[in-house]
C-alpha cells in the first residue's frame, strides 16, 4: 500500500441522508460535502441571508467525552482566528441530533485533488505544479500558520486534504483544526496518536509536547510534495513502519527535491531538510524563519527555475 494512500482517514458509516433538509441554527442542510473521523461537513443554505454556508456536525452516535471535547475545541480555536488563508467560523451550537458549527463555504478544491489532477496531465512536463505556484502556496500557508501560532493555536494536521485551493490565484485556505492545540488551554482529551503519518512530526508520534515546530515539519513535507510528482519515500510497508522510522529519527526520504525535480536549484534541498529535521533544535523554530528562507531562495533562484 502506498504511504500517501494511507493518509485517507477511516470514514465512519453514518448515513448522512437523515440530515438532508434538517434545520441547524438558521440554515437548512442541503447535501454532504466531506467527512472525516471528527464529523461530517454539509453545505447548508441561510434563507434570511441568501447564502450558502458550510456546517460541520458531530452526530450523536459519535459522541464520546473525547470527541465532544475535540469538536468544541476546534470551533473555539478557529473562532478566535481571522486570516484570509484560514476558514472563518460563524457560529456553534447543539440540537438533539448534532453538535455543530457553521463556517464560510469556500469555493475551492482540495489541494489533494489539485495534485491528483495535475499528475494526470497528458504532457509529462506539466505533471508537477510550476515551482512559482508551489512556493506561493507554501508561503501563504506559512503566513497563516505564523498568524495562528502567535495567537496560541497549533494546527497539528497540515496536509493536502486539509487545504482548499481557490482559483485563479491560487489562494490556499487552511481547514480542519480538529486536532489543533491551543497553547495554555488543555483539551482534556486522552493522549493518543492523532494525525497523518506522512505529515506528522516525530514528536507527535512519541506523544511528546508539541509546539509550532510540528506545523513547520508538516509544511516542509508539504513543500516537498508540491515540488515533485511523487515523494521519494524510503521503503515503508505500513503505517507502523513509517511511524517507527520517524520516531527513531531516521530519514523518510530517499532523495532530495532537486534530485527528483531538475528544475530546482539544490539550495531548496537544505530548506526542506531543515524544515523536516527530526531533531527539534535543527528545525526552523518558527514559520517566519521558514518563510525567510523561501524568500531568500526565490530572490536568488526563481529565474533559474523558469
Cell readout for 160 is 493536502
pLDDT at residue 71 is higher than 80? yes
Strand partners, 44: 29, 53
**pLDDT score for 142:** 98
Distances (CA, A) of 265 to 112, 272, 294: 25, 12, 12
Q: Which residue has the cell 471528527?
A: 38
| pLDDT, the chain, mean | 87
Instruction: Please compute the mean of the pLDDT values over residues 132-157 and round it to a whole number.
Output: 95
Note whether 214 and 201 are within 8 A (CB): yes
CATH number of 109-301: 1.10.510.10
CB atoms within 10 A of CB 298: 16
pLDDT at 202 exceeding the cut of 80: yes
What nine digits make up the cell of 297? 531562495
Catalytic machinery residues: 157
Q: Where in the chain are the domains?
A: 3-104, 109-301
Q: What average pLDDT does this structure show over 22-44? A: 88
Q: Is the pLDDT of residue 259 over 90?
A: yes
User: Do 3-104 and 109-301 come out as alike in CATH topology?
Assistant: no
Residue 223: pLDDT band with limits 50, 70, 90: very high
Q: What are phi and psi of 173, to 5 degrees?
A: -120, 125
pLDDT at 17: 82
The residues with which 165 forms a beta bridge, in sequence order, are 109, 172
Q: What is the pLDDT of residue 4?
A: 38
Q: For residues 296 and 10, which has the higher predicted lDDT (pLDDT)?
A: 296
pLDDT at 196: 84
What mean pLDDT comes out for the span 179-187? 61
State what percent of residues in the chain have pLDDT above 90: 56
Q: Which is more confidently placed, 236 or 162?
A: 162
Say which range, 80-84, 95-99, 300-304, has the weakest mean pLDDT: 300-304
Closest CA to 242 of 230, 232, 231, 233: 233
pTM assigned to the model? 0.88
- Domain covering 3-104, topology: Phosphorylase Kinase; domain 1 (3.30.200)
Q: Between 77 and 217, where is the model more confident? A: 217
Amino acid at each position: 500500500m502506498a504511504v500517501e494512500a494511507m493518509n485517507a482517514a477511516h470514514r465512519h458509516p453514518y448515513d448522512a441522508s437523515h440530515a438532508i433538509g434538517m434545520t441547524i441554527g438558521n440554515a437548512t442542510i442541503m447535501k454532504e460535502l466531506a467527512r472525516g473521523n471528527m464529523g461530517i461537513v454539509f453545505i447548508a443554505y441561510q434563507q434570511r441571508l441568501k447564502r450558502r454556508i458550510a456546517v460541520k456536525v458531530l452526530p450523536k452516535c459519535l459522541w464520546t467525552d473525547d470527541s465532544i471535547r475535540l469538536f468544541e475545541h476546534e470551533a473555539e480555536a478557529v473562532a478566535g482566528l481571522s486570516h484570509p488563508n484560514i476558514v472563518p467560523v460563524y457560529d456553534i451550537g447543539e440540537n438533539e441530533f448534532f453538535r455543530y458549527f457553521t463556517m464560510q463555504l469556500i469555493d475551492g478544491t482540495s489541494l489533494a485533488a489539485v495534485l491528483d489532477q495535475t499528475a494526470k496531465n497528458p504532457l509529462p512536463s506539466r505533471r508537477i505544479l510550476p515551482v512559482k505556484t508551489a512556493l506561493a502556496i507554501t508561503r501563504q500557508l506559512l503566513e497563516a500558520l505564523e498568524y495562528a501560532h502567535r495567537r496560541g493555536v497549533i494546527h497539528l494536521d497540515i496536509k493536502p486534504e486539509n487545504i482548499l485551493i481557490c482559483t485563479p490565484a491560487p489562494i490556499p485556505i487552511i481547514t480542519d483544526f480538529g486536532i489543533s492545540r491551543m497553547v495554555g488551554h488543555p483539551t482534556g482529551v486522552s493522549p493518543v496518536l492523532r494525525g497523518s503519518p506522512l505529515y506528522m512530526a516525530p514528536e507527535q508520534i512519541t506523544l511528546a509536547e508539541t509546539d509550532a515546530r510540528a506545523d513547520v515539519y508538516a509544511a516542509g513535507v508539504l513543500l516537498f510534495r508540491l515540488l515533485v510528482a511523487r515523494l521519494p519515500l524510503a521503503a515503508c510497508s505500513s503505517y507502523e513502519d513509517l511511524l517507527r522510522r520517524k520516531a527513531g529519527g531516521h530519514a523518510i526520504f530517499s532523495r532530495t527535491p532537486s534530485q527528483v525535480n531538475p528544475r530546482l536549484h539544490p539550495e531548496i534541498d537544505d530548506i526542506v531538510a531543515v524544515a523536516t529535521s527530526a531533531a527539534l533544535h535543527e528545525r526552523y523554530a518558527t514559520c517566519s524563519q521558514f518563510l525567510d528562507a523561501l524568500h531568500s531562495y526565490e530572490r536568488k533562484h526563481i529565474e533559474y527555475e523558469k
